[in-house]
Every structure is written in C-alpha cells, then in structure tokens.
A and B are shown apart, each in its own frame.
Chain A
Amino acid sequence: MILDNPKDLSQNFYSYLLNKSRSNREHRVLILCATDVDAVCAVKILLHLFNCDYILYSLTICSNFTDCIKAVKPVRETVRSIVMINCGAAEDVYGRLKANKDARYFILDSRLPVHLHNLYSGKAVRVLRKVDASEIPAFDSVFSQEEDEPPKKRARTDSSVNGDDDDTMSQSSEMSGSSQVENIRERREKERKKAEWEVNRKIIESNYYKNVSYEDSSAMKMFELAHLISKDDHNLFFWAIIGLCDMFVQRKISSSEFVKKSIALQGHVIRLTHNVDVENRQAFRITYGQDLALRFYRQWTIFDSMCSTPYTASIFRTWETKGHQKLHELLADMGFPLSQCKQTFSAMDYEIKENMVEWFKEQAAQWNLPDLISSGTFLASYGFNQKFQINDIALGLHACLTLSDTSSPEENVHEALEILSKEDFKRIEYALRLGRDQLSIFRNIVQSAFEERLFVGMNTYLQVCLDNISSTGNKFTGRPEALIPLALFLQQTYVVRARGNKVSKVPFVLVAELQPPSDDPDNDWVYFVGLPGHDNINSGVTNFMGRAFREAAGRVKIDIEQWSFDEYTIRTRKKNKITFLDALILIFSLPSSGAV
C-alpha cells in the first residue's frame, strides 16, 4: 500500500498511530532508524510529533537489515506498529521481520526501488512515499496466481477417480480416456505458459531492481506531515532542510533536483521566518540565497577551504606546489590580500566579507569555474552569531555519524540527535569542527592516493585500493560509513578535471581495508563502495553497482555481505579480494552487462 499524498500520510499513518495509542495505552510504536543524516533528522521530527501527542515509542538504531531483524525479534509478539526510517524499502519486511500478524509496517525510505512484496502486501505494509505507478510491474506479472493450483489438482483427482472406475465401466472409460488426453494437454499447455511467465517475471524483476536511486528526503516528508497537522515550527524546518541538504551533499539527488526542491520550499522559508524579531539576540533565522560553494569556509579560512573542497581541489590540484601557486594567482586576481584569505573567516575585514561573493562571481566567469558559486544555499543564523551553511551542517553531522572513537555507530546517532537539540548552536559548531577535520583528513588521503598513483583507470571503470586507512585518518576513517563520503571525494577530485571525458562517465569503485592485517577473523574484511559515473550523478541517474557486485560474486561464487542499507556497499573476506576484483573487471568488460 502506497501512501503518497500528504493527506494519506496524515490519515493512514499519523492518525492511525494516534488513534491506536489513544485507544490502547500500551500501544508502543517501534521506530527503526538508519544511521544516516536524513534518517536522524526525520526521527528528530517524528519524535517531536510523538512527544506532542503522547505517543509512546521505542527507538532502535540499525546499521543494516540484520540489525532490524535483531531489533524486532525480542518484541515480535507484542509489537503492533513498526516505523522504519530510511531502511527496509529494499527488503521484504513482512516476510523477513516476521512480527505478529496484526503488526503494521510503515516504511519511510528515500531509496528506490521498493521491494515488490512491500508494495503488494495490502494494508500490513505501508510505504510512505511517492512511487511512480508506471514503473511498478503489474501484480499478475510478478506474482503467480494461487487460483492456478486448485483446478490442476482437481483435474488430477478427477482423472484418478476416473482411472479407478475404468475396470467397471468401459463406456465411461472411453470418455475418461479422451478427457485424460485433454487434461494432459491442458496441463502441458499450462506448464509451458508458466515457464514462459517465469522467464518473463525474471526479466521484469531484474529490470525493476536494476538501479538504486533516491528521491524525496525522509526528513522533508516528515516536515510535510508536521505542516499538515499544524505542528511545524522553524526547528522542524531546520531539521528537514538538513535532511534535504544531506541528500544533496552525499550526491543522492542531483543539483537540479535540489534546486527544484529548495525553490519549492521558499514559501515555508518566508512563512516561518517573517515574524522573527531581528533585534532579538536569540532569533533563529533560515535564509536562502547565493553563496560560495566552498566547504566550511565560514568556520575556516578561505584558503584552506579552497584547498579542501573537492571541486576547487581538483581544478587547481592543490596537493601540488603548482596548484598552490595557481590558487594564489586567482586570489591575487581577485584583489584578495593573502593575510585576509589565510585568516579565519570570522576575523576577516567586514568589507571583504560583504563583497566576497561578488568578487568570486566575477572570477568564476573569468577562470571558467562555474561551480564555484552555488545558486542557492540555505543559511542558518542564530542571533548575531555568524551564519552557517546548512550543507556544512549536514556534512558535519555525517562526520559525527562516522566517528570511530565511540563505542558503536548507534552511539554516534544518539550524539547526532543531541547535536540537533533545539537552538543549541554550541553543539552545531562542534559538528562543524568535526566535519572540517574530516575533510582535511580526506584531503590528505586523496593527496597520498595521487602521489602513490592509486587511481587505476580501467576502460570501463575507475578503481582505488586503499590499505589500512584507519592508521592514516585516526577517528575519521575507522568505520566503513566514512568510506562513502571518502569515495565521493576521491571520485570527484579525479574526475572534475576530466569533465566530458570518458573517465567522468565510468563508474567508480573504492576498495578499502580498514584494519591493519591481523589474524583476527572478525576484522578480516575488505570493503567495497561502488558509485556510478560522476557525470551521471549530476543528471540524477541511478546506481547499478549493487547489481554488478552481486553478479561478479555470483560468477566466481564468493560470499559478499552488504554492510549498510545500500546494496552498492558490500564487504568480503580478504582472501577473496583478488578473485572478486578480477570478476568485477570481467563483468564490466562484458558488453551485455549494461554497466556502461
């Protein structure tokens, strides 16, 4: 069951939970939350709504679907409602979580495609998102009709009954003989049709599940719900925008999609900020406008930020001395004093700060750097404090979620939930610092990857193998979750210069070993992250790497394991690494794989 329009969302999701908890005080909603920024923001909004209406809940953090199964297992008999945030759309939740029959599942996931069982399991599973009806295979084409079976059986019993009667009634035996032949023919026909249908189904299913894509941030969806039931405020809006920006900075949605969605939000921006008291020291404002597309420059120096933003880093090759010189040249052209651009942003001259965007805009045109200025960015400010780019906040939160000096990823999620506490900008500054530090660690890794020539450009895909990266990046690269932003960074720095070339269109594979070599079988993993071609991401295209990985593993018969909710993130044992990579090359070189 699909709940796509907001009214459905409020009636069949929120009001349903509300009525359940009003009528039964022991009704407790189990929330399963994934470990990404969008999910954290969505949970934050949902918890706010639940708190307003006294809906009881239990929240469990899950890093992958095995965690979800583990979380549901102890409460299998008692749980009545399960809300899954950014997890579960790609799995058959009803079949795999196996909660009791009365349980209702609400899946709020930005991923596509949604598992067909979830779409066709009636009221038990409710998918809270828009699903393009034309892309969903028809029910008959993917599920065999149960009605087929009974007539067949009846035909068989009929014939056997007739067979028994053969000895006594010769006349009827003739009749039954002919009908038997007919029956057999009918059966053959049916079997043939069934086999045909089976082949057809496989094709339809493989086409349907081929690509992973993202749409609609979950946090945004929750905000829409809050708006519909008139419980929205600027904090909820702030969280929703962080969710949306996270989708953008993780390149889950294309920039054009992001711009489209942000423009659609202008009404909310005006509505929620028009009566903010400007003189108030505590006033919290969200604005939308043009800004530099440099990461963390408001908390850093302009120069460092330009060295670490993947786009500028790649254009200028800032890891080389030559690149540094070129960057200096640009800044000098702009009339930017060196002392100012190596100064923390907050301490820079007011005049320069005011005119900076204009200067950069002029230079961007001259130096042909179209992506240096982002046409629309959300900015948050708190009282007279400096402004924050919400994109940076999303990156900072992501850094916080990938920290490895805490005891587990779940702890990181709780930390992130705390960071998003209402109007507490001290914590947000902490997250921004984390993001900034992570970015500089990534920059160092990229630099060493270039120096050691780790980029292996195959004809059909690009690959980087990193060994034991946890030693290079201390707490920022100790967890596999950090590999996704790292992969994005690596791909972007390599590819941006080669825009338009073939290399910018081929998919990218990051192979990484997190731990130093050891005999411990638990740490004996190699992690793979597959990204589609860089130019493809920008036009909002989808990720087929999960399927490529599966196919490669199937060919050489090695076990791979999905370590997150995304199927393009897998891991395998170290001993299988070489075989798997060979198989991957083979898969990509096949013309029929559809990879390129």
Chain B
Amino acid sequence: MRALIGPKENQASQVYYRTLWWTDVQRPSLKMYGRRATDLIRGLDRAAENSIPPYNGETVRAVCEEIKDIFEANQQDTGRLQSQADTSSHQNILHSIHFRHIAMERNKRCLVAYHYNRAERLRSIRWNLGGIIPREIRSTLSEKEVEWFNSYNTELTNYMMELDGLNLTVHQRPPKEHFIHVRVLLDYGDYETEDGETIHLKKYTRHVLPRTECEHLIRQGVLEHVHV
C-alpha cells in the first residue's frame, strides 16, 4: 500500500496518528481522519495487478466531504485565533489546526494516488489491448476516466500519425529494426500493407517490409527472412 501512496510518512504524522487514536477513544462518534482514504488505497492494492476494480465513487465522495469538514473546522479555529485576545490557549488551537491540515493533506494525497494509479492501469490497457476498452472494464470506470481514456487515445493516435503512421503500441521495447528483408517463396499476388501500399509478391523477389506485416506471412510460408 505504501508503494501506491509514496514514501512520505514522516514522524510528525505518526505522532498525530496516535493523537487521532486518542481522540477516537475519547469521542467514539467521531470517525478517524484518513481511514476512508486509506480504505480507497487498500481496495486498489488488493485488486490483482493491472486489473481495475470498480470505481469507488461513494468513498471518494466521503473523503471529499471529510476534507471539506476539516477545512471548515480549520477555518473556524483560525477565526477563533484571530478573535481571542488570550494567547495562552493559542498553542492548543495551533496544534489542532496543524493536525487537521496534515490529515487533509493526507486525504488529498490518497485521492490523487488512487486516481493516478487507476489512470496508469488504464494506460497500460491502451497499450496492451488497443484503443477500444472491453465492455467489462468499461463498466468499472468512472465517467471522467472514460473521458480521459478517450482523450489519451486521440493524443496517442495523433502522435503516431506524426511519425508517418508508425504503430508504437506493437513493441514493448523499440525493435532493433523496424523493417526486415524477406524473400518471396511462392506467387502470392498483390498484398496490401496497413499503410495502404500495395506490394506485388512474386516468387523469387526480395522486399523490405515492416516486421509486423510479415510475421504472419512468414508463418504461412509465403516469405522467408533473409539477411543482408
């Protein structure tokens, strides 16, 4: 779980966890700050790697509410600080403001981590499965995520078009050669490549073709890979 949120977990926040625990015991009605946010992360962490669990909109909303509450409470306290002339109680108020602020930051961080990690998984789906999201995955996404996916898709396509229609999603690592030299073993006739070029594959001719296009023809025994 820590991997998802990141390493920032300083000593101060540890102290305040403890304080939190204490407040919780004192006033059982009050929910522990940050628990829901942590649940969010935990839920994502529990799901299998690279799978996307259903979007937990309820919790996200609850966390947002919590942030809002904390913010309001902090604002009230700040107002109190300004109005009170007695500086002796200032120290306590300052402590609780600081504590709430950290809790709020924490919640925010969890929210960002949750969404960021989901987006990462979504991105890997684009690279592995292509531009169309399978129905079962689509049902687990939020509306904004679908929107993001679509815009990412467009950006990627535009970028690949700039590279003369080079399909970047085919290789996980850049291949050593994008084109390979092949020799035609039988009369195949015209073959249309993905970029619309027609190549006449006649027996005993030799061509340079994109690696991706030839693989299935090599398997069919139409072509043979040769070295220059």
Nearest CB in chain B to that of A70: its residue: B202
Q: Which of B182-210 contact A (CB under 8 A)?
A: 183, 190, 195-200, 202-208
CB closest residue in chain A, given B165: A25
In the complex, whether A57 has a CB less than 8 A from a CB of chain B is yes
What residue of chain A has the Cβ atom nearest to residue B183's Cβ? A414
Is the pair A47, B228 in contact by a Cβ cutoff of 8 Å? Answer: yes
Question: Is residue B164 within 8 Å, beta carbon to beta carbon, of the partner chain?
Answer: yes
Known contacts A25-B195, A421-B227; is-contact A57 B208 (Cβ 8 Å): yes
B200: which of A56, A74, A418 is its contact (CB, 8 Å)?
A74
CB-nearest residue of chain A relative to B195? A26
Given A25-B195, A74-B200, A75-B200, A60-B205 contact (CB < 8 Å): yes
| In contact, B164 and A25 (Cβ under 8 angstroms) | yes
Tell me, rounded to whole Å, the shortest Cβ–Cβ distance linking B175 to chain A.
13
Whether A58 and B195, one on each chain, are in contact in the complex, defined by CB atoms closer than 8 angstroms, is no
B4 in the interface, Cβ–Cβ < 8 Å?
no
The answer to whether B228 and A48 touch across the interface, beta carbons within 8 angstroms, is: yes
Q: Is the CB of B228 within 8 A of A51?
A: yes
Cβ of B129 under 8 Å from chain A: no
- By a CB distance below 8 angstroms, the chain B residues around A28 are 197, 199
Are B199 and A411 in contact, CB atoms less than 8 angstroms apart?
no
Given B165, B179, B204, B205, which contacts A56 in the complex, CB threshold below 8 Å? B179
Residues of chain A from 16 to 51 with CB closer than 8 A to chain B in the complex = 25-26, 28, 47-48, 50-51
Residue of A nearest to B201 (CB): A58
Q: Is the CB of B228 within 8 A of A58?
A: no
Interface assignment of A54: CB less than 8 Å from any CB of chain B: yes
In the assembled complex, which residues on chain A have CB atoms less than 8 Å from the CB atom of B165?
A: 25
Bits for B156-187, please: 1 = Cβ < 8 Å to A, else 0.
00000000110000000000001101010000
CB distance from A223 to the nearest CB of B (A): 16
Number of A residues contacting the other chain (C-beta, 8 Å)?
Answer: 26
Judge whether B204 and A58 touch: CB under 8 Å.
Answer: no
CB contacts (< 8 Å) of B228 on chain A: these are 47-48, 51
A26–B204 CA distance with the chains assembled, in angstroms: 22
The answer to whether A56 and B195 touch across the interface, beta carbons within 8 angstroms, is no
Determine whether B47 belongs to the interface, using a CB cutoff of 8 Å to chain A.
no
B94 within 8 A of A: no
User: Could you tell me the distance between the alpha carbons of A26 and B199 in the complex, rounded to whole angstroms?
Assistant: 10
- Which chain B residues numbered 201 to 223 have a C-beta less than 8 Å away from chain A? 202-208
- Taking CB atoms, residues of chain A closer than 8 Å to B200 are 58, 74-75
Asked if A61 is an interface residue, CB under 8 A from chain B, the answer is yes
Tell me the smallest distance from the CB of A413 to a CB of chain B, in Å.
8
Would A58 and B198 be within 8 Å (CB), given that A74-B190, A414-B183, A421-B227 are in contact?
no
Q: Does A524 contact B (CB under 8 A)?
A: no
- For B199, list chain A residues within 8 Å (CB): 28, 58
Contact of B204 among A74, A75, A78, A408 (CB under 8 A): A408
Q: Can you name the residue of chain B whose Cβ is closest to the Cβ of A54?
A: B179
Which residues of B are found within 8 Å of A57, using beta-carbon distances? 206-208
For A46-85 the 0/1 string (1 means CB < 8 A from B) is 0110110010111111000000000100110010000000
Residue of B whose beta carbon sits closest to that of A33: B206
Residue from B179, B190, B200, B207 having most chain A Cβ neighbours under 10 A: B200
CB proximity of B203 to chain A, nearest CB, Å: 8
Indicate if A410 sits at the interface (CB-CB under 8 A): yes
Q: How far, in Å, is B101 (CB) from chain A's closest CB? A: 56
The yes or no answer to B25 lying at the interface (CB within 8 A) is: no
Q: Is the CB of A58 within 8 A of B190?
A: no
Complex-state Cα separation, A75 to B165, whole angstroms: 23
A48 to B178, CA, bound (A): 16
Query: Please, how many angstroms separate the alpha-carbon atoms of A57 and B190 in the complex?
Result: 16
Give the CA-CA distance A61 to B205 in the complex, in Å: 7
In angstroms, Cα B205 to Cα A71, docked, is: 10
Q: Which B residues lie within 8 Å of A56 (CB)?
A: 179, 207-208
Q: How far is the CA of A196 from the CA of B197 in the complex (A)?
A: 52
A59 to B190, Cβ gap below 8 A? Answer: no
| CB of B226 within 8 Å of the partner chain | yes
B181-A51 in contact (CB<8A)? yes
- Please determine whether A410 and B226 come into contact, CB atoms closer than 8 angstroms: no
CA A414 – CA B204 in complex, angstroms?
8
The residue in chain A whose Cβ has the minimal distance to the Cβ of B200 is: A74
For residue B121, give the distance in angstroms from its CB to the closest CB of chain A.
Answer: 34
A139 to chain B, nearest CB (A): 37
Contact in complex: B204, A61 (CB < 8 Å)? yes
The distance in angstroms between the C-alpha atoms of A57 and B197, with both chains bound, is: 13
On whether the beta carbons of A59 and B207 are closer than 8 Å, the reply is yes
A440 CA / B183 CA spacing, docked (Å): 33
Q: Decide if B206 touches A78 in the complex (CB within 8 Å).
A: no
Bound-state CA distance A78–B190 (Å) is 12
Is A411 a contact partner of B181 (Cβ separation < 8 A)?
no
Cβ contacts under 8 Å, B207 to chain A = 56-59
A51: chain B residues at CB < 8 Å are 181, 228
Query: Which residues from A are CB-within-8-Å of B203?
Result: 410
Residues of B contacting A410 in the complex (Cβ-Cβ under 8 angstroms):
203-204
Distance of A173 Cα from B54 Cα, bound (Å): 104
Contacting pair B206 A59 (CB below 8 A) = yes
CA distance A421 to B199 in the complex (A): 26
Contact A58 B181 (CB under 8 A): no
Cβ–Cβ < 8 Å partners of A61 in chain B: 204-205
Residues of chain A with a CB closer than 8 A to B195's CB: 25-26
Residue numbers in B under 8 Å from A418 (CB-CB): 226
List of B residues within 8 angstroms of A59 by Cβ: 205-207
Cβ of A54: which chain B residues have Cβ within 8 Å of it? 178-179
Complex contact B227–A26 (CB within 8 A):
no
Partner of B197, one of A26, A47, A60: A26
- The closest CB in chain B to the CB of A73 belongs to B200
| Nearest B-chain residue to A52, judged by Cβ | B228
Considering the complex, give the chain B residue whose CB is closest to the CB of A418: B226
Min Cβ gap B177→A in Å is 9
B206 neighbours in A (Cβ, 8 Å): 57-60, 414
Question: Once bound together, how far apart are the Cα atoms of A26 and B164, in whole Å?
Answer: 10
**In whole angstroms, how far apart are the Cα atoms of A261 and B142 in the complex?**
76
Interchain CA distance A455-B126 in the complex, whole Å = 78
What separation, in Å, do the CA atoms of A408 and B205 have in the docked complex? 12
Task: For the complex formed, measure the closest distance between the CB of A78 and the CB atoms of chain B, giving whole angstroms.
Answer: 7
Residues of A within 8 A of B181 (CB): 47, 51
Q: Mark B22-50, 1 if CB is under 8 A from A, else 0.
A: 00000000000000000000000000000
Q: Which residue from chain A places its CB closest to the CB of B178 in the assembled complex?
A: A54
Nearest B residue to A26 by beta-carbon distance? B197
Docked complex Cα distance between A54 and B203 (Å): 23
Closest Cβ–Cβ distance, residue A536 to chain B (whole Å): 37
User: B178 — which chain A residues lie within 8 A by C-beta?
Assistant: 54
Residues 399-418 of chain A, each 1 if its beta carbon lies under 8 Å from chain B, else 0: 00000000010110110011
For residue B120, give the distance in angstroms from its CB to the closest CB of chain A.
32
Residues of A within 8 A of B208 (CB): 50, 56-58
Q: Can you name 12 extra interface pairs (CB under 8 A) apart from A58-B205, A59-B206?
A: A47-B181, A50-B208, A54-B179, A57-B207, A58-B199, A58-B200, A59-B207, A74-B190, A75-B200, A408-B204, A413-B204, A418-B226
Q: Which residues of A contact B (CB under 8 A)?
A: 25-26, 28, 47-48, 50-51, 54, 56-61, 71, 74-75, 78, 408, 410-411, 413-414, 417-418, 421
A-B contact pairs, 13 of them (CB 8 A): A25-B195, A26-B197, A28-B197, A54-B179, A58-B208, A60-B205, A61-B204, A75-B200, A408-B204, A410-B204, A414-B204, A418-B226, A421-B227
Which 9 pairs show the lowest CB-CB distances between chains A and B? Answer: A410-B204, A59-B206, A74-B200, A25-B164, A58-B207, A26-B197, A51-B228, A56-B208, A60-B205
